[in-house]
Amino acid sequence: MANGAYPWKRVFWREWRKGEDEECAERLFRFIADDPAGAEVTAVMVLFGSFAGLACGLILGLMALNWGAPLAEWAPHWSALLGWVAGGVLLLALAALLFRWLLGDLLTWRTWLEHLSPAEIIELQPGAVALAGLAGAGGYGLLLWFLRTVLVGAALATPGAWMGERVLLLLVLAVSLVGGTLLQRETGLLLPGLALGLGGAGVAVFLIGPGPAVVCGLALVLGLCIGTVWRALGLPSEHVYAARHLWCWWTPRPSPAEMEAALTRACQSAPEINKVWEPALRYAAQLEKTPESPFNMIRDFRNTDWMARFGARHALVALGGESVEVVRGYAANPLMVNHHTAIWILHHISRDTNARFAHRHPPARCARCVVTFAPRTVRISWHEHTRYMGCRQCGQTWEVLPVYQAVVATLDSRTPASRIEQGEILRVNWLAERKLFDFDRVEIIAANDEEVERFAVQVGNDTDPVRKQRYRKMACFVAPQADVSENSRRILRQMFRQVSVRHEEAP
């Protein structure tokens, strides 16, 4: 789709196609719109020519093979008709390929999308297409019946019936061909037109016979093809973005990191891109370093400033687990602006946190709770969910402790500090924290019986499934100077695997 010398353009195309923010998309499109149209356009043109050749080959083949027979007795003659069809497909496909070759680099993506992607075709809902096709099919079938019975009915009853039938056929062919051309040229109703042509032919089978009905229906389809080309040669459509979801549908939307890297490279290579996007990149980087509240950033989804919307999307992904619940609530409502972008944010939070924390050993720990990270499921809708790595207790991923080989829970009334680092060991004073966290062993250095028993009660009432199964495997060391009675030690033995006296603090 994009020039291989500019890999950032591929990222621009993916974001332009997948993103919901049309203002941001327009600021990307202006830098890639004048690139020569790629192989996708060539494939579409050849496919379109093949489709028109199919209709043309069937029409000419049926007429040539059955011209001398009464209309009601027309037969397909499959083996001979296949040659006509193959010839029509090959001829018009080659014509389309030749036309594309002659246009060369003159056919840019801007020209292609403005002329051949009218909004009326793309924005029609399936229900509207089906309804229009159904109504049109009945009307078209009645038109064929009217032309046959009213206009040339008298001729069919005379010795000139053969000539009357040919007059009928040529008349209805002309009406179908011109009608299809004008329908597509004036309204752009390609999809209902196709339904009208195929459905009308089906209705007309019961009214004027299968052979001529198929021929007339195909003539309408061929008229739609001619009308599409005619429309393409006219004024450009104002709805360039109406068709963007048809392109690059096979590639995913780029991640925020990909987008930022592509914009950085583009700003370095093109001054005009730097002028538009450098302030947005600077704002997003600042917001990622010092993020606001997730509630404030999610409100920026509806901000009139495109730069605020761009920065909020990237900062919410960078904030990670802390923004999940706010974004999930937004994503759960399909009526919200940028609803699909909220889902995209959740999936990229999942990918980012899993890449950073899923395989870390020892496991990452939350700097707020001193609790290890674990997979957390986010239910987006009844049929969609994602999983990210976050603190088991609060879910955040923004503040992470350095890697420690062990975390020791201490009870030391002599030390006011709540956390002390000793090499690869982190000592957390429970007397200062007064809450449970993930620890590997216990050291009671200076604590009375009341403090020890309160600690034991918290441990005994702990509902965290990860910690509960670890307590019985832990060791608890009591310093000789600690004022701990035998009764308190008995309570500790009920909590932990081993309770012993250590004359020196554990290293």
- Residue 201 to residue 217: CA distance in whole angstroms: 5
As a 3-state breakdown, the chain gives helix, strand, coil percent values, each rounded to 5, of: 65, 10, 25
DSSP lists the bridge partners of residue 388 as 376
Distance between CA 352 and CA 409 in Å, rounded? 31
Q: Which of 449, 53, 448 is nearest to 221 (CA)?
A: 53
Contact 180, 224 (CB under 8 A): yes
* CA pair distance 186, 459, nearest whole angstrom: 77
- How far apart, in Å, do the first and last CA atoms of the chain sit? 61
For 337, how many CA atoms within 13 A lie in the half-sphere containing its CB? Answer: 11
pTM attached to this predicted model? 0.75
Burial 195-220, CB ≥16 within 10 A → b, else e: bbbbbbbbbbbebbbbbbbbbbbbbb
Q: What is the pLDDT of residues 153-164, one digit of tens each?
A: 544 555 566 676
Cβ pair 53, 93 in contact under 8 A:
yes
Q: Encode pLDDT of 49-76 as tens digits.
A: 998 899 899 889 888 888 877 766 777 7
* Residue whose token pair is 């309204």: 187
Q: How far is CA 123 from CA 120, 191, 246, 478, in A?
A: 6, 11, 11, 74
CA 198 to chain centroid: 33
CA 29 to chain centre: 18
Check if the beta carbon of residue 427 is closer than 8 Å to that of residue 417. Answer: no
Identity of the residue numbered 504: E
Collapsing DSSP to helix, strand or coil, 431 comes out as helix
Please give the chain's pLDDT, 507 residues, in tens: 544 456 899 899 899 888 888 889 889 988 988 888 888 889 988 998 998 899 899 889 888 888 877 766 777 788 888 999 999 999 999 999 999 999 888 888 888 877 765 544 555 566 666 666 666 666 666 666 666 665 445 445 555 666 767 777 787 788 778 877 887 777 767 767 777 776 666 666 655 667 777 787 788 888 888 888 887 777 666 666 666 776 667 788 999 999 999 999 999 988 999 999 999 999 999 999 988 899 999 999 889 999 999 999 999 999 999 999 999 999 988 888 888 999 999 999 999 999 999 998 889 999 999 999 999 999 988 888 999 999 999 999 999 999 999 999 999 998 888 999 998 999 999 999 899 999 999 999 999 999 999 999 999 999 999 999 999 999 999 998 887 888 999 999 999 998 988 644 444
What is the C-alpha separation between 213 and 207, in angstroms, rounded? 8
